[in-house]
Amino acid sequence: MRIRRVKIVQIIKWLIIFVPTFIATVHFFKLHDKINARKKYLSENLHVDKHNQFSQKCLQTISQLQIQPMLNIFQPFFTKNVSFLLFNAYYDNRKALKNLHQIRILIYVTKFEFTAEIYCQFWYENQKLPKISKVKDFRLIWNKNWDQNINGLSPYLLSCEVDENEKDLPTFVSLVESPCDNANNKLKIINDETEEKKNFLVCVKGMKFYDVKMALILTEWIEIVKILGADKILFYVIDVGKEFFQILKHYELKKFAEIIEIKFPLQNLNKSEEKLQEMMHDLIAYNDCFYRNVNNFKFLVPIDVDEFIMPIIDKSWMELLSKSKNSSTHLYPNETFDAFAYRNAFFLLTNNHADEIQSEVPENFHFLQHIYRAANHNENSKHTKAFMEMENILTVHNHMPLECFENGKCKTFLGDRKTGQVQHYREKCENYKECDDYTFNTVRDDNLWRFKDEIINGVYGAIREIFGDDSLLN
């Protein structure tokens, strides 16, 4: 009976999750014939004046889609050649753009590579008619030399120019195949800008955790990155247990975290394709995290909840970063770097010291208990994590910026392992020829213990405030 009840609850949860996207898709198909007929009419009646502005006759045929746009929900948009799923839109006015401010649109595309002619319709608060801007940049958020996601959905960043001299900025944007089409999609433009930028924004990709033990590990991890210098953590949540979500809400109420609940489209893929598609999902989360905060922070730090960048000598990320910047200037005086990365060190939970209990710290503290790491760091760029300069970047990957303003190329400085490292607390090593070395050739590394009292007090305080007792600590 209990199993049956659990199944019913799971079915209800899935219905709640996918009904909005399903309704949007059905709505589109109902409008499909009507839209095609309208396209034919408009193609025969579309006029452009000598200033390349669409005529009033054309614009007056457009009516704004009368729905309240929802953030973080994929909206379908189909063209003759390719299908899109639109996620979010953002205003980008960074200095490197000079006078060419952009509306960035984060999307999924059903083809790995494609060509299309698409237009942005910008809608303004107090204007009945839209302004039109052609999509001038289709940027794949992936390296074409890596595995190609032929059967899956590929993440792209689309860009439309907006007139920076306008007194008012557009509040919504729609994508259309022909400039004066009536759109079937509508995205609210995210434009959040604070007076003074903070330093470090941590982005955590879509999480699925149900084990109660993970709730305590999460709290310890949050307290660690807070001590090291994170100003805010943005969590993308797919599905998590009750205790886990309570902890996230606690830190959100403290203004230290933000929760974005996200549901990715379901697809019929084989196992290897699913793994590649999960990587694409990660890139949607990381690039959304980046662009919705592009004006509010100086450095982006995409990491998972089983790892963090650890200063070896310094006490904070800012001190470590300053040291790395000084080193880069000394070694490469004529170069400017877009990111500062650090080598990975595995703290494997199945290494040759895995069964040891450290009496100096509480037994159920995950990171403080595991103080033996692989003696050798990963080779160069494998599993590195980085502080990324948000002012310089166009698209980001888990380990490095993908594209930057200067000719699209990014420059990443690899920090000295004597100054900083990525501490990666993974269950076991797989698919590396060095796995035996990482597992059995270990050294003691209790550098994190410099902060143990602060970590322990922070975790105890948070758990007691959230749950009212120490039950989760036992």
- Of the candidate ranges 68-82, 204-218, 311-325, 436-450, the one whose mean pLDDT is the lowest: 68-82
Same domain, 241 and 142: no
Q: What average pLDDT does this structure show over 12-16?
A: 52
CA dihedral sign of residues 192, 197, 198, 204: positive
The whole-model pTM stands at 0.87
In a domain, 7, yes or no: no
Round the CA-based radius of gyration of the chain to a whole number and report it. Answer: 24
Q: Is the dihedral of CA 62, 66, 70, 75 positive or negative?
A: negative
Same domain assignment for residues 23 and 79: yes
Enumerate the β-bridge partners of residue 203: 234, 302
Same domain, yes or no: 122 and 32: yes
HEC per residue, the chain: CHHHHHHHHHHHHHHHHHHHHHHHHHHHHHHHHHHHHHHHHHHHHCCECCCCCECHHHHCCCCCCCCCCCCCCCEEEECCCCEEEEEEEEEECCHHHCCCCEEEEEEEECCCCCCCCCEEEEECCCCCCCEEEEEEEEEECCCCCCCCCCCCCEEEEEEEECCCCCCCCCCEEEEECCCCCCCCCCEEEECCCCCCCEEEEEEEEEEEECCHHHHHHHHHHHHHHHHHCCCEEEEEEEEECHHHHHHHHHHHHCCCEEEEECCCCCCCCCHHHHHHHHHHHHHHHHHHHHHHCCCCEEEEEECCCCEEEEECCCCCHHHHHHHHHHHHHHHCCCCCCCEEEECEEECCCCCCCCCCCCCCCCCCCHHHHCCEEECCCCCCCCCCEEEEECCCEEEECCCCEEEECCCECCCEEECCCCCEEEEECCCCCCCCCCHHHHHHCEEECCHHHHHHHHHHHHHHHHHHHHHCCCHHHC
- In the block, residue with structure tokens 């410099």: 450
Contacts 24+ apart (CB under 8 A), 271-277: 273/149, 273/151, 273/152, 276/147, 276/149, 276/152, 277/149, 277/152, 277/153
Q: Give the model confidence (pLDDT) of 362-379 as tens digits.
A: 999 999 999 999 999 998
Residues contacting residue 141 through CB under 8 Å, at least 6 positions apart: 154, 155, 156, 157, 283, 287, 395, 397, 402
Same-domain check for residues 225 and 171: no
Amino acid at 454: E
- Average pLDDT of the chain is 87
Give residue 176's identity as a one-letter amino acid code.
Answer: V
When pLDDT is averaged across residues 277-289 and rounded to a whole number, the result is 96
Please tell me the distance from the alpha carbon of residue 257 to that of residue 284, in angstroms, as a whole number: 19
Give yes or no for a contact between 156 and 212, defined as CB atoms under 8 angstroms apart.
no
Decide which of 146, 169, 190 is a domain's last residue: 190
281 phi and psi angles, rounded to 5 deg: -60, -40
Q: For 76-109, how does the pLDDT look when each residue is reduced to its tens digit (9 = 90+)?
A: 999 988 999 999 999 999 999 988 899 999 999 9
- CB-CB contact of 237 with 259 (8 Å): yes
Do 249 and 158 lie in one domain? The reply is no
Least confident of 5-9, 216-220, 285-289, 330-334: 5-9
Residue 176 and residue 230 in one domain: no
User: What is the reported pLDDT for 35?
Assistant: 41
| CA 69 – CA 186 distance, rounded (Å) | 6
4: in domain: no
Is residue 14 scored above 70 in pLDDT?
Answer: no
Residue 31 to residue 18: CA distance in whole angstroms: 20
CB-based contact 417:377 (threshold 8 Å): yes
Q: Is the pLDDT of residue 354 over 80?
A: yes
pLDDT greater than 80 at residue 22? no
Q: What is the pLDDT of residue 12?
A: 53
pLDDT of residue 340: 98
Q: Which of 156, 190, 224 corresponds to the end of one domain?
A: 190
Q: Tally the domains of the chain.
A: 2
- pLDDT tens for each residue of 118-176: 999 999 998 888 899 999 999 999 998 888 888 889 999 999 999 877 778 999 999 99
> Do both 352 and 438 map to the same domain?
yes
Provide CB contacts within 8 A for 431, sequence distance 6+: none
In this predicted structure, the answer to whether residue 24 has a pLDDT above a threshold of 50 is no
Q: What average pLDDT does this structure show over 333-361? A: 94
Is residue 6 a part of any domain in this protein?
no
Place of tokens 């960048």: 309
Question: Are residues 131 and 255 both part of a single domain?
Answer: no
Say if residue 166 is in the same domain as residue 82. yes
Q: What percent of the chain has pLDDT over 70?
A: 86
Averaged over 372-401, what is the pLDDT? 94
Q: Are residues 379 and 261 in the same domain?
A: yes
Binned at pLDDT 50, 70 and 90, residue 54 comes out as low
pLDDT the model gives residue 431: 82
Residue 406 resides in a domain = yes
Lowest mean pLDDT among 63-67, 116-120, 148-152, 350-354: 63-67
pLDDT at 145: 86
What is the rounded distance in angstroms from the CA atom of residue 2 to the CA atom of residue 242?
A: 18
Please indicate, yes or no, whether residues 45 and 152 belong to a single structural domain of this protein: yes
Is the pLDDT higher at 55 or at 429? Answer: 429
**Which tops the pLDDT comparison, 214 or 19?**
214
The confidence score (pLDDT) of residue 44 equals: 39
User: Residue 69: which pLDDT band, with cuts at 50, 70 and 90?
Assistant: low
71 or 297, greater pLDDT: 297
Q: Does residue 26 sit within a domain? A: yes
Given this model, what pLDDT does residue 245 score?
A: 96
- Give the confidence band of 8 by pLDDT, cuts at 50, 70, 90: low
State yes or no: pLDDT of 32 exceeds 70: no
Tokens of 122: 């910008």
What is the per-residue pLDDT for 52?
A: 39
How far, CA to CA in Å, does 453 sit from each of 188, 210, 458?
A: 45, 28, 8
Q: 202: which 2 tokens? A: 């941590």
Residue 5 lies in a domain: no
Question: Which range marks the domain in which residue 350 is found?
Answer: 198-473
Which amino acid would we find at residue 340? F
For residue 235, the domain's CATH number is: 3.90.550
* pLDDT for residue 62: 74
Note whether residue 2 is domain-resident. no
CA angle 316, 293, 184 (to 5 degrees): 155
pLDDT greater at residue 30 or residue 146: 146
Q: 54-68, 142-156, 187-201, 330-344 — which is least confidently predicted?
A: 54-68
Boundary residue ending a domain (190, 225, 255) = 190
Domain membership of residue 169 (yes or no) is: yes
Q: What is the mean pLDDT of residues 376-387?
A: 90
- 186 and 204 part of one domain: no
Task: List, for residues 429-450, the tens digit of each pLDDT value.
Answer: 988 889 999 999 999 999 999 9
The pLDDT of residue 67: 65
Tell whether the model's pLDDT for residue 27 goes beyond 80.
no
